[in-house]
């Protein structure tokens, strides 16, 4: 696993208060982790803060899995 995945996983575990064993690249944020709209907001906010990036609303809606988050972040970190 990449360092980015591990950091994304840490944000997810912290925000959703879940066991890290549940978080894999193919894990879906809504269907598998039961993230509601507020959880999604806090996840995106957490990713922005952790990686010092900005994620627009329309882009955030495209992040459906852990792998989507990792891919987006890796493309946008400087």
Local mean pLDDT, 10-residue blocks, the chain (78 residues): 93 97 96 96 97 96 97 92
H helices of 1-78, in order, are 3-16, 37-51, 57-60, 66-76
65: helix, coil or strand? Answer: strand
**Would you state the pLDDT for residue 78?**
66
Confidence (pTM): 0.93
Give the CATH number for residue 42. 1.10.1200.10
> How many structural domains are present in the chain?
1
**Residues forming a β-bridge with 28:** 65
Residue 73: count of CB within 10 angstroms of its CB: 21
Name, in order, each residue with C-beta under 8 angstroms of 42's C-beta and a sequence gap of 6 or more: 15
Q: Output the pLDDT for position 70.
A: 97
Q: Which domain holds residue 53?
A: 3-76
């Amino acid at each position: 696993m990449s360092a980015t995945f591990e950091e994304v996983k840490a944000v997810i575990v912290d925000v959703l208060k879940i066991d890290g064993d549940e978080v894999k690249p193919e894990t879906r944020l809504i269907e598998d982790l039961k993230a509601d709209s507020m959880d999604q907001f806090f996840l995106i906010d957490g990713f922005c803060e952790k990686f010092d990036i900005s994620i627009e609303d329309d882009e955030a809606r495209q992040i459906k899995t852990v792998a989507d988050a990792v891919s987006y972040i890796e493309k946008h970190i400087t």
